[in-house]
Amino acid sequence: MDDILEILSNDARVTPQEISKMTGKSVDEVKKAIKSYEKEGVIIKYKTLINRDLTNEPGSFVRALIEVSITPQKDVGFDHIAERIYSFEEVTSCYLVSGTYDLLLVVEGENIQTVSNFIASKLSPMENVRGTATHFLLKKYKEDGQVLKKKKEIKRLNISI
Amino acid sequence: MDYTISKIVEQMPPSGIRVFFDLVLGMKDVISLGVGEPDFVSPWHIREKAIYSLEQGYTSYTSNKGTVELRKRVASFLEGRYQLSYDYNEEILITVGVSEGLDLAARAILNPGDKVLIPDPCYVSYGPVVSLASGEPVSLKTDIANGFKVTPEDIKKSYVKGTKALMLNYPCNPTGASYTKEELKALARVIQKYDLLVLSDEVYDELTYDFDHTPLASLPGMKDRVIYLNGASKAYAMTGFRIGWVCGPKKIIAAMTKIHQYTMLCASITGQMAAEEALKSGFKDVQMMKREYHRRRNYIVGALNEIGLDCHMPQGAFYVFPSIKRFKERSMDFSKNLLMKKKVALVPGVAFGPSWDTQVRISYASSYEDLKEAVARITDYLKGK
């Protein structure tokens, strides 16, 4: 990965000025590169990784992984039906996978009821959906490369030759 | 009771720096740029290998020379990385860090009065290690104007009759200075002319930013006169495992092994197994850490120069050695005041010898956030002066 992308993927708040100091590129060069990444869709969006278990309303949120089996359609294969599914706002991630089923969805809702309702009333009745298997997530240990636990204190000595 | 201490030990420079270190270690909430080791934890696959080895019951001594597996791994690694061939059985010894390797090398080759050229500044153990081996350290003063690099002229100037060896460390602690292949070739010519052995401490080799590292031993005609020292500490963030390796001429390795078997027996088996894993599958980790250090180096050199701490661009390791001359404060006072007033720790230059009282050593093996905060605090401190 390009230097600029690597820095931003780790911390999106680093400014072009700082990136310039770290990489030796000029501030203008950095700004231009970021602009073009944004334009090309390489950089899609800047967001904050939140550990919802530690927020004030940790109970008001559930997440489920749903395996979906699909009958592909002529000419468009899985793409058309995938689009119909991922367009629901309840679906936060949608992947086409190899193996015993076809689409893997991440679905979020306020509680088990809302997620179940979504499956029962929106997802399962779809014409090309052959079947679903739902796994509610119980605990989140690591997400997007980030361990969701407070960092332990560094154990090295504060000074050494 | 007679508590008379050995003369050599008595004469070793007292570590006035120890008092300062204790002061730092006793203080809380310090941002430290004074640390001589990576801020990364050893990669998980390496730690996991160490844990697994313990689970499997690997808790015994190993061969004095180190496990066959690790020595073979070191040999194939050096062959692949640098086209540098050593026989795992007779030319490689596993040590307890490079520190032990240096001590063994000095004791193996020196007779009383043999002189050893030691770059100034250099890592603090070089002089004492030579003295303890009854050798005589000869200072090889480097110049800020040359970015603290040893030049062929420096060697010519400092060479005295009876000089047996040269100690070299590149990239260098405390200056970060390192050498291109061409610069090393020029040094090699002088080394050959004066018929010197070289103790080449290349433990920071993987942290070279502006060009590829070249082991001195890989240059034509040099392998027979170089004792190559390296280890797992810096490249793989494994300082606490204490694993180093020494490669060199059979006769010297045999002599070093003799001392090692009587004084150390062997390096820890857990560390050796972890180091084997590091050399086998650690390349990606090294590259990731190197990219990170590289960015921090660029940042810190720029930032320090901006606030008036004149600083050259070092080629490797994770240190800069800027000048504090214009602030008219001795390095120890500067460091103490900065610590007490702004809670930033760094190493006063005087730790590396009396000639370096105008410098401080800053380690950028700290997170970018800490570096930024430290620079802000140093800026504050300088404004208040």
Q: How far is A158 from chain B (nearest CA, A)?
A: 6
ipTM of the complex: 0.78
Confidence of residue A58 (pLDDT cuts 50, 70, 90): low
Residue A50 resides in a domain: no
In the CATH scheme, what is the homologous superfamily, with its name and number, of domain B7-42+284-383? Aspartate Aminotransferase, domain 1 (3.90.1150.10)
Residue A151 has pLDDT above 80, yes or no: no
Number of structural domains (chain A) is 2
Q: Give CA–CA dist B133/B244, Å, rounded.
A: 20
Q: How far is CA B28 from CA B19, B38, B332, in A?
A: 16, 20, 20
Q: Determine, yes or no, domain membership for A16.
A: yes
Residue A118 lies in a domain: yes
Q: Average pLDDT for residues B155-180, to the nearest whole number? A: 97
Q: Which of A23, A156, A161 sits opposite B124 (nearest CB)?
A: A161
Q: Do A156 and B295 touch (CB under 8 A)?
A: no
User: Looking at the structure, do residues A116 and A80 belong to the same domain, yes or no?
Assistant: yes
Task: Give CA torsion, residues B315, B285, B202, B296, to 10 deg.
Answer: 30
Residues of B in contact with A158 (CB under 8 A): 24-25, 27, 30, 32, 34-35, 345
**DSSP code of residue A46:** -
Q: What is the DSSP letter of B285?
A: H
pLDDT confidence bin for A55, thresholds 50/70/90 = confident
Do B30 and A158 lie within an 8 Å CB cutoff?
yes
Which of B94, B279, B131, B123 lies closest to B200 in space, CA to CA? B123
- Tell me if A151 is assigned to some domain: no
A35 and A102 both lie in a single domain:
no
Backbone angle region of B308, left / alpha / beta, with phi > 0 → left and psi within -120 to 50 → alpha: left
List the domain range (segments joined by +) for residue A35: 3-40
CA distance B32 to chain A (A): 6
* C-alpha distances in Å from residue A57, one per residue of A51, A65, B273: 11, 21, 47
Q: Which residues of A fall within a CB distance of 8 Å from B32?
A: 158-159
Among A56, A39, A64, CA closest to A123: A64
Per-residue confidence band for A144, with pLDDT thresholds at 50, 70 and 90: confident
Considering only CB atoms, A159 lies closest to which of B302, B347, B368, namely B347
Each domain of chain B, given as residue ranges in start order, spans: 7-42+284-383, 46-281
Q: Which residues of A64-101 are buried (b: 16+ CB within 10 A; e: fewer)?
A: bebbbebeeeeeeebeebbeebbeeebbeebeeeeeeb
The answer to whether residues A33 and A70 belong to one domain is no
The model's confidence at residue B15, banded by pLDDT at 50, 70 and 90, is low
Question: What CATH code would you report for B46-281?
Answer: 3.40.640.10
With an 8 Å Cβ cutoff, are A159 and B123 in contact?
no
Name residue B316's beta-bridge partners.
Answer: B208
CB spacing of A23 vs B298 below 8 angstroms: yes
Question: Are residues A36 and A82 located together in one domain of the fold?
Answer: no
DSSP per residue, A120-145: IIIITTSTTEEEEEEEE-----EETT
**Residue A121 C-alpha, separation from nearest chain B C-alpha, in angstroms:** 45
CB spacing of B295 vs A22 below 8 angstroms: yes
Q: Under 8 Å CB-to-CB from B362, ≥6 apart: which residues?
A: B33, B34, B300, B304, B319, B320, B321, B322, B346, B347
Instruction: Copy the structure tokens of residue B67.
Output: 């496990």
Q: Nearest C-alpha of chain A: how many angstroms from B383?
A: 22
Shared domain check, A127 and A73: yes
SS (H, E, C) B142-205: CCHHHCCCCCHHHHHHHCCCCEEEEEEECCCCCCCCCCCHHHHHHHHHHHHHCCCEEEEECCCC
Asked if residue A125 and residue A71 are part of one domain, the reply reads: yes
Residue A110: which CATH number? 3.30.70.920
What is the tens place of the pLDDT at every residue in A1-10?
A: 789 999 999 9
Strand B226-231, strand B163-169: pairing: unpaired
Helix H or strand E segment including A153: none
Residue A147 lies in a domain: no
Regarding whether A98 and A127 lie in a shared domain, the answer is: yes
Residue ranges of chain A whose CB lies within 8 Å of a chain B CB: 3, 6-7, 11, 14, 18, 21-24, 154, 156-161
Same-domain check for residues A72 and A11: no
A90 and A16 in a common domain? no
pTM for the full predicted model: 0.91
> Quick one: A133 and A80 in the same domain?
yes
Structure tokens given for A13: 């708040």
**Contact A159/B32, CB-based, under 8 Å?**
yes
Has residue A143 been placed in a domain?
Answer: no
Q: Which residues of B touch A157 (CB under 8 A)?
A: 25, 35
Place of tokens 């600083």: B311
Residue A7 lies in a domain: yes
Q: Which range is most confident: A77-86, B4-13, B190-199?
A: B190-199
